[in-house]
C-alpha cells in the first residue's frame, strides 16, 4: 500500500530531480535562491542576527530618553536627523521606536530568526531526512520573509516615520491615518510587511509539520524523537492555526483604513468633527489580535525550550528527566495557548465572570510550565555538568524562565491586573519570560550547533565572557523594572511628570541604572557578533561529534553536503537520551546504535526490542523509495 502510493508519486517527479543530481548548482542556486534546508537556515540566522542588532539599537535610543530625560541627544542627529528636535527625541518618534522594537524582536528575530533557523536546520538532520518535504516552498518561505523584512526596514526611513501604535497596532489609533504621523504610510507598510510575514510563516509551518510527520528515518517513532523536534512541531502547529487569524484581523484593519468600512470604528470625533463610521467595535480587533498574540508567545518560547532540553541533557551527561512529561507539558501549553487570549484584555470592560474563566485557564499554564522547569532542574541534579557556552545559556534560560514565570501568576490574576496592566511590571515580566529566555535559547542553539552549521567551533572564552555579561546585564535591566511598574509607571510613555508621591523623581536613579545596564548588555553582544562572524571563517575546525551527543545530526559529515548523509540514512533504534547508561563503557550511546550491539547496558525491556531491529532494517527499501530520484 505504502510503496504503491509512493511510486505513483515518484514517476511524476522523476524527470525534474534527475537533473538535480548530476549538476552542482551554480552560485545563485547554492547560496541565494537555495532549496537546501541548511542554507535556508543560515539565511534565517544571519537575517535574524542583523535584525536583532537593529531591534536592540532602537531600544537603546528610547532607554536614553527614559534614563536620562535631560540629556542632549544632538550627537544622534547624523543618524536620526529630523527626529532629534533641539537636542530632544521627537515624541512621535519615541512611539515609533517602541513599536518597531517590539515588532522586530517578536516577529523578525524571535519568530523567524529562532524557529526559522533551528526548525529548518535541525528537523531534517535530527529525524534523518535528506531535506524538507518541499525545498521549493521552503525557499519561498525565506524570500517572503526577506521581502517582508525589506518593507519593514524601508518603513523606518520614510518621512512620517514607521508604524507607531505599539506592536499590537490597536485601532482606532492604527486605523485612522490622521490619528498620528505613524498611522499613515508607516502603518500601511507595517500591514503589508506583516501580510508577507504571515505567508512566510505559513509556508514554513506547513513544511515543518509535513517533514516531521512524513520523512522520519526508519525506526524514528514519535517517542524516539528528540525534544527539539517535538518543540518545533508544536511551534509549527501553533503558527499554522494562529497566524491565519492575525491575517483575518489585519485584513479587516486594511479594509477600515483603505476601503471605508467600519469593522473597528465607531463614533469617533477628530478635532470636534464626527467621523462617518459607526457600528464598529475596537474590542473585536483585540480579540482577533490576541488569538494570535498569545500563541505567538509560545511560538517564540517553545523552540527555545526544546533547544534547552537537548543542550542540558547532552551537557549534564544525563538522560532528560521526564521525557514524556516534557512532551505532555508542551502539548498542554500548545492547547492552553489558544484559550487564554483574553487575559490581555482584563481591563477592556469585559464581563468579570468571563475574566475569572480566563484567569483560571491562564493560571493552569503554570502547571505544564512548572513541570518543564522541574524537569530541567532534575536533569541537572547530580549530572556530570560540562559548562560549555551553550550549556550556560541553557541554564540561564531556565533561570529567566522561572523568575519571569512567577510574575505571570500575578499578572494572570484578573483583579491584580487592574493595578498592573500596561505598567513596567508587565514589561519586566514578558521580557524575562519570553524575550530574554527565548534569546538565551537562540544563543544556546547557536553555540551548540555552530560546529554543525559551519564546520568550525566558536571561541569558548569569548562565549563565557558573553554569557556572564549578558546574564548579569539582563537581570540588571529587567529586575528593577518590577519595582518601577509597581510604583505605577505606565509603559510606552515618552516622559513622566505627575506620578503619585513624585515617583518620577524617586525612581529617576533606578531608570538611569536600567539604561546603563541596557547599554552595557547591548555592547556585550558585540562580543558575540565578533565571535560568530570570525569563527565562521577562522574558527577552530570542528570534530565529528564535539559534544559527544546522541542525535543523528552528528552522524553526518563534518561539512554536511546536499542530501545530508553520503551513504544510507542511518536507522534509529533508541531514544536520544542514553547518556551515562549503567553498564556502558562510553557515557553516550547514539540513536543509531542498535540494542543488539550493547547487551551490557540494555534494560530487560530493551532486550525485547532487539527482535524488532530486523523489521526496522527491512524498511530500508521503503525509505529509499521516497528518495529514489
Partner 1 sequence: MTQEHLKDIDMGEEPVKTMSMNPKKFMLWLAIASITMMFAGWTSGYLVRKAEGNWHEFDLPNIFLYSTAVLVVSSVFMHLAVRAAKKDNFNTLKIAISITFAFGMAFLFMQWYGFSDLVKNQLHFSGSDVAASWIYVFVGIHGLHIISGLVVLLFSLVSSFRLSINANNLTRIQLCATYWHFLDGLWLYLFFFLYFNR
Which residues bind to partner 1, rule: CB under 8 A? 1-3, 5-6, 8-9, 11-12, 133-134, 137, 202, 205-207, 209-211, 213-222, 240-245, 247-249, 251-252, 255, 259-263, 276-281, 284, 287-288, 291, 612, 615-616, 618-623, 626
Task: Tell me the closest approach of the beta carbon of residue 166 to partner 1, in angstroms.
Answer: 21
Residue 447's SS3 state is helix
Which residues neighbour 175 within 8 Å (Cβ) at sequence distance 6 or greater? Answer: 183, 253, 256, 257, 264, 265
Task: Tell me the closest approach of the beta carbon of residue 515 to partner 1, in angstroms.
Answer: 40
Q: Counting beta carbons within 10 angstroms of the beta carbon of residue 513, is it exposed (0 to 12), middle (13 to 18) or buried (19 or more)?
A: middle
Task: Tell me the closest approach of the beta carbon of residue 622 to partner 1, in angstroms.
Answer: 6
Task: Tell me the closest approach of the beta carbon of residue 293 to partner 1, in angstroms.
Answer: 13
Give, in degrees to the nearest 5, the angle at Cα 513 between 510 and 517: 140
Give whichever of 92 and 606 is closer to partner 1, judged by the CB atom: 606
User: Are 299 and 232 in contact, with CB atoms under 8 Å apart?
Assistant: no
Euclidean distance between CA atoms 100 and 153, whole angstroms? 10
Euclidean distance between CA atoms 430 and 163, whole angstroms? 22
List Cα–Cα distances, 203 to 108, 125, 129, 304, 519, in angstroms. Answer: 16, 20, 19, 21, 37
Task: Tell me the closest approach of the beta carbon of residue 117 to partner 1, in angstroms.
Answer: 21
**Helix 460-486 to helix 389-411 angle, to the nearest 10 degrees?**
10
User: Are 236 and 208 in contact, with CB atoms under 8 Å apart?
Assistant: yes
Give whichever of 116 and 280 is closer to partner 1, judged by the CB atom: 280
Q: How many residues are present in the chain?
A: 629
Nearest to 480 by CA among 512, 523, 520, 438: 512
Task: Tell me the closest approach of the beta carbon of residue 393 to partner 1, in angstroms.
Answer: 32
Give whichever of 80 and 339 is closer to partner 1, judged by the CB atom: 339
Give whichever of 279 and 561 is closer to partner 1, judged by the CB atom: 279
Task: Tell me the closest approach of the beta carbon of residue 133 to partner 1, in angstroms.
Answer: 4
User: Are 333 and 298 in contact, with CB atoms under 8 Å apart?
Assistant: yes
Task: Tell me the closest approach of the beta carbon of residue 14 to partner 1, in angstroms.
Answer: 11
Give whichever of 92 and 617 is closer to partner 1, judged by the CB atom: 617
Task: Tell me the closest approach of the beta carbon of residue 6 to partner 1, in angstroms.
Answer: 7
Give whichever of 154 and 611 is closer to partner 1, judged by the CB atom: 611
Give whichever of 11 and 501 is closer to partner 1, judged by the CB atom: 11
Q: CB 528: neighbour CB atoms within 10 A?
A: 23
Give whichever of 205 and 412 is closer to partner 1, judged by the CB atom: 205
User: Are 170 and 250 in contact, with CB atoms under 8 Å apart?
Assistant: no
User: Are 7 and 625 in contact, with CB atoms under 8 Å apart?
Assistant: yes
Give whichever of 280 and 383 is closer to partner 1, judged by the CB atom: 280
Pairs from 7-15 (Cβ < 8 Å, separation ≥ 24) = 7/625, 10/625, 10/628, 10/629, 13/629, 14/629
In Å, how far from its chain's centre is CA 624? 34
Give whichever of 406 and 626 is closer to partner 1, judged by the CB atom: 626
Task: Tell me the closest approach of the beta carbon of residue 72 to partner 1, in angstroms.
Answer: 48
Residue 265's SS3 state is coil
Task: Tell me the closest approach of the beta carbon of residue 106 to partner 1, in angstroms.
Answer: 20
Give whichever of 256 and 417 is closer to partner 1, judged by the CB atom: 256
Q: Read out DSSP for 106-170?
A: IIIIIIIIIIIHHHHHHHHHHHT-SS-S-HHHHHHHHHHHHHHHHHHHHHTTSTT-S--STTTT-
Q: CB 85: neighbour CB atoms within 10 A?
A: 11
Give whichever of 487 and 571 is closer to partner 1, judged by the CB atom: 571
Give whichever of 76 and 247 is closer to partner 1, judged by the CB atom: 247
Task: Tell me the closest approach of the beta carbon of residue 318 to partner 1, in angstroms.
Answer: 27
Euclidean distance between CA atoms 619 and 96, whole angstroms? 57
Task: Tell me the closest approach of the beta carbon of residue 343 to partner 1, in angstroms.
Answer: 17
Residue 181's SS3 state is helix
Give whichever of 11 and 70 is closer to partner 1, judged by the CB atom: 11
Task: Tell me the closest approach of the beta carbon of residue 190 to partner 1, in angstroms.
Answer: 19
Give whichever of 90 and 296 is closer to partner 1, judged by the CB atom: 296
Pairs from 144-148 (Cβ < 8 Å, separation ≥ 24) = 144/196, 144/197, 144/199, 144/200, 144/203, 145/44, 145/47, 145/112, 145/116, 145/196, 145/197, 145/200, 146/43, 146/47, 147/196, 148/193, 148/194, 148/195, 148/196, 148/197, 148/200
Task: Tell me the closest approach of the beta carbon of residue 216 to partner 1, in angstroms.
Answer: 4
Q: Read out DSSP for 546-615?
A: TT---SGGGGS-SS--TTS-SSSPPP--S-TT-BS-TT-SSSB--TTS-GGG-TTT--HHHHHHHHHHHH
Amino acid at each position: 500500500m505504502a510503496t504503491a502510493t509512493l511510486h505513483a508519486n515518484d514517476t511524476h517527479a522523476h524527470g525534474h530531480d534527475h537533473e538535480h543530481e548530476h549538476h552542482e548548482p551554480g552560485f545563485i542556486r547554492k547560496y541565494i535562491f537555495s532549496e537546501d534546508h541548511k542554507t535556508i537556515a543560515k539565511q534565517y540566522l544571519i537575517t535574524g542576527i542583523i535584525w536583532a542588532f537593529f531591534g536592540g539599537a532602537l531600544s537603546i535610543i528610547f532607554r536614553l530618553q527614559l534614563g536620562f530625560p535631560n540629556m542632549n541627544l544632538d550627537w544622534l542627529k547624523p543618524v536620526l536627523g529630523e527626529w532629534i528636535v533641539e537636542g530632544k527625541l521627537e515624541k512621535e518618534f519615541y512611539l515609533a521606536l517602541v513599536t518597531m522594537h517590539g515588532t522586530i524582536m517578536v516577529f523578525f528575530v524571535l519568530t523567524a530568526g529562532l524557529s526559522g533557523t533551528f526548525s529548518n536546520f535541525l528537523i531534517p538532520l535530527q529525524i534523518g531526512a535528506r531535506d524538507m518535504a518541499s525545498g521549493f516552498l521552503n525557499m519561498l518561505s525565506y524570500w517572503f520573509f526577506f521581502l517582508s523584512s525589506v518593507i519593514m526596514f524601508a518603513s523606518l526611513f520614510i518621512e512620517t516615520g514607521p508604524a507607531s501604535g505599539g506592536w499590537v497596532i490597536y485601532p482606532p489609533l492604527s486605523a485612522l491615518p490622521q490619528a498620528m504621523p505613524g498611522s499613515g504610510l508607516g502603518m500601511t507598510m507595517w500591514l503589508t510587511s506583516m501580510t508577507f510575514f504571515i505567508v512566510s510563516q505559513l509556508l514554513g509551518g506547513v513544511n515543518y509539520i509535513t517533514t516531521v510527520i512524513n520523512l522520519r528515518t526508519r525506526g524514528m517513532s514519535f517517542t524516539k524523537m528528540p525534544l527539539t523536534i517535538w518543540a518545533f512541531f508544536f511551534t509549527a502547529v501553533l503558527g499554522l492555526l494562529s497566524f491565519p487569524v492575525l491575517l483575518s484581523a489585519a485584513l479587516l484593519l486594511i479594509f477600515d483604513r483603505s476601503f471605508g468600512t467600519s469593522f473597528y470604528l465607531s463614533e469617533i470625533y477628530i478635532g470636534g468633527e464626527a467621523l462617518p463610521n459607526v457600528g464598529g467595535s475596537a474590542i473585536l480587533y483585540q480579540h482577533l489580535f490576541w488569538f494570535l498574540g498569545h500563541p505567538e508567545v509560545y511560538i517564540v518560547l517553545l523552540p527555545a525550550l526544546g533547544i534547552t532540553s537537548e543542550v542540558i541533557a547532552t551537557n549534564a551527561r544525563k538522560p532528560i528527566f521526564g521525557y514524556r512529561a516534557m512532551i505532555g507539558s508542551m502539548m498542554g501549553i500548545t492547547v492552553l495557548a489558544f484559550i487564554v487570549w483574553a487575559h490581555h484584555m482584563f481591563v477592556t470592560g469585559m464581563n468579570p465572570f468571563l475574566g475569572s474563566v480566563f484567569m483560571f485557564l491562564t493560571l493552569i499554564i503554570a502547571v505544564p510550565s512548572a513541570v518543564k522547569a522541574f524537569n530541567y532542574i532534575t536533569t541537572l541534579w547530580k549530572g556530570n555538568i560540562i559548562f560549555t557556552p551553550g550549556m550556560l545559556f541553557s541554564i540561564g534560560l531556565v533561570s529567566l524562565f522561572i523568575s519571569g514565570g512567577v510574575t505571570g501568576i500575578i499578572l494572570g490574576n484578573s483583579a491584580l491586573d487592574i493595578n498592573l496592566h500596561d505598567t513596567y511590571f508587565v514589561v519586566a515580566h514578558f521580557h524575562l519570560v519570553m524575550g530574554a529566555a527565548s534569546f538565551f535559547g537562540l544563543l544556546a542553539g547557536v553555540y551548540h550547533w555552530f560546529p554543525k552549521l559551519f564546520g568550525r567551533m566558536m571561541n569558548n572564552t569569548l562565549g563565557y565572557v558573553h554569557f556572564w555579561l549578558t546574564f548579569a546585564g539582563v537581570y540588571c535591566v529587567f529586575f528593577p523594572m518590577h519595582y518601577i511598574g509597581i510604583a505605577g509607571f505606565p509603559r510606552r510613555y515618552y516622559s513622566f511628570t505627575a506620578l503619585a508621591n513624585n515617583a518620577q523623581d524617586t525612581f529617576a536613579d533606578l531608570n538611569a541604572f536600567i539604561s546603563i545596564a541596557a547599554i552595557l548588555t547591548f555592547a556585550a553582544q558585540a562580543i558575540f557578533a565578533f565571535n560568530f562572524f570570525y569563527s565562521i571563517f577562522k574558527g577552530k575546525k570542528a570534530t565529528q561529534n564535539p559534544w559527544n551527543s546522541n542525535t543523528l545530526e552528528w552522524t553526518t559529515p563534518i561539512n554536511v553536503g546536499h542530501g545530508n548523509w553520503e551513504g544510507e540514512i542511518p536507522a534509529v533504534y533508541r531514544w536520544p537520551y542514553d547518556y551515562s547508561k549503567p553498564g556502558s563503557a562510553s557515557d553516550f550511546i547514539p540513536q543509531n546504535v542498535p540494542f543488539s550491539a550493547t547487551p551490557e547496558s540494555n534494560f530487560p525491556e530493551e532486550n525485547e526490542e532487539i527482535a524488532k531491529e530486523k523489521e526496522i532494517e527491512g524498511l530500508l527499501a521503503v525509505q529509499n523509495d521516497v528518495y529514489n530520484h
